Every structure is written in structure tokens, then in C-alpha cells.
Amino acid sequence: QPAYDASPESLALIATTIARTVGARIHELRARGVDVAAAKSSAVDIVTEADREAERIITEALREARPNDGVVGEEGTGIEGTTGITWVVDPIDGTVNYLYNLPMYTVSIAATVADATAYADGRRAIAGAVYNPSSDEMFEAFEGGGARLNGSPITPTGNTDLATSLVATGFGYTVERRTMQGEIAHRLLPQVRDIRRLGSAANDLCMVACGRVDAYYEIGLQPWDYAAGVLIATEAGVTIIGAHDNQAPGEPFMFVGDAGLVHTLRTQVLGA
């Protein structure tokens, strides 16, 4: 029995319930138009009022459902808990898509526990939800329970051949990172079926999980980008590795795909 006081299944229900409510809210706010509220680390790294409001609603709902858990969110929430469970939240993953009304932005909510070796942030998700309100698609998983899309089990493509792989990636907001990411894309593009930059890391992980792309890699992800998505992908049977065999995935690198593909992908991306 786990030391924490709730089943992963019950935590997943909390995550999906809140993600659905907040997703509907940001979708409704989007219809009224969106302004950039502030620039963050750089001019291209933006936040809107909807990001902030969504994080407030999620945090309040989590505090009500689970008053003693911790909560960490991209827009500044940092509440210490006493249960061993910390919720890791991205209120809108894909804010740039949101700004342009591209229908691929998601709400990502994960319940995590401490696990030094699991991911770079030292945490492991045991339940999580990624919700796309534009398509009304709810991806969810709890540890040991498999992954689902709108209630039905999902499976990845199982493609182990890089040359015929559709590979998703993402780009961070700093110029140095983007220069490096451009060089990687330059090297990788002739070796794959194609590359997609869909704009939401949480969604990218779910796209691998349900077989809409074969693989995904990114450098510079934050815990809120990947917490729920990595659990959904892992529970769907996807393999996730870091930059070295002895290094947990996360910041800097994460390679996501079939067990027979991720090492080849890593070798090509790192140019080793």
C-alpha cells in the first residue's frame, strides 16, 4: 500500500474533473478575445489573464478537494503540502496557440510523489489529466491503470523505424536554446518522415500515447509541461529516456517513443 492517503484512481478523477471545468472556462474566455498580459523570460514568452485565472481556479479547486496536498503551477503557485502528494499544474499549455486561437492548447494537471530517479524534478506522477477544450479530448491516466482518451484505452503506433517516423518537437523561449533547436531540426529533418511543432508539450506527449505521431523530443521542458503527459504516455506503453542512460528525463532532454526507437532518435538528435 502506498504511504499517501488516496488512491491514484481517485486522484485522476479529481484531475479530470478540474481540467474539464477549467478547460471550458479558458475556451469561453478565448471566444471573447485575448491580450498578452505580460512578457516573461523573453518577448516571445508570454502570459495572458486567462493563464492566471485558470491557475487560480485550479488551485482553489485542488485546495478544496485535497486541502493538505502541495500545489505547484507555472504562473507562480507554490504551496507546500503534508501528504506527500504535490499537484503540478500547467493552466494553459500552449499559450501561443491560445493567443492565436489555434485549437491546440491544453490544461495539464498531475498528482505527483517524490521519486529521486524518475524525472529531472525528482517527482513522479501517479495520476494526471491533459484536456484539450477545443476538441473536447480528455487524456487521463493513473499509475498501473493504463491511459485513456475520452474513456477508451489508447495505444501508440509502435513504429521503431526513424526514417518513417513522424516526430513532434517543441522550442523553448530563449534565443540560445532556439539556435540549438534549429541545428537539431536541421540535422534530423532529412532522416525522418516529417517533423511537427504542435505547440503544447503536454499535448505532444498525449499524441505519442495515442499514436497520432510516432515520437517526440524536446529540450528545456519544465515539470508542469510534462508531469501529466509523461504518465499518460508511459501508461500507454511509450518509453521515455533522458540525454544519458544514467540521467533522468526532463530538463535538459526528453526522448519519447517506442522502446525500439527512442535510442536511435536520441543518437540522431544529440548528433553523437
Q: Are 203 and 225 in contact (CB under 8 A)?
A: no
Which of Ca ion, ligand IPD, none interacts with 199 (beta carbon under 5 to 8 A by kind)? Answer: ligand IPD
CA atoms within 13 A on the CB side of 246: 0
Contact pattern from residue 199 through residue 218 relative to ligand IPD, giving x for each residue in contact according to CB under 6 A and a dash for the rest: xxx----------------x
Q: Which residues lie closer than 8 Å to 70 by C-beta, 6 or more apart?
A: 79, 80, 81, 83, 85, 86, 87
Residue 176 annotated as binding site:
no
Shorter beta-carbon distance to ligand IPD: residue 110 or 113: 110
What part of residues 47-76 is at the interface with ligand IPD (CB under 6 A)?
A: 74
- The distance of closest approach from Cβ of residue 189 to ligand IPD in the complex, given in angstroms and rounded to an integer, is 17
CA-wise closest residue to 174 among 81, 77, 40, 24: 40
Please check if 90 is assigned to a binding site.
yes
Is residue 81 within a helix (H) or strand (E), and if so which, with residue range?
Answer: none
Candidates 95, 165, 264, 268: give the one binding ligand IPD (CB under 6 A).
95
Indicate which of Ca ion, ligand IPD, none lies near residue 112 (CB less than 5 to 8 Å, by partner kind).
Answer: none
**Segments of 76-182 assigned E as strands:** 78-79, 86-93, 106-114, 123-132, 137-142, 147-149, 152-153, 166-169
Among 73, 94, 156, 250, binds ligand IPD (CB under 6 A): 94
172 binds ligand IPD per the rule CB under 6 A: yes
Which position has the grid cell 503544447? 200
Cell triple for residue 25? Answer: 472556462
Q: Which of residues 46-75 bind Ca ion (CB under 5 A)?
A: 74
Binding site for ligand IPD (CB under 6 A): 74, 90, 93-95, 170-172, 199-201, 218, 220-221, 225
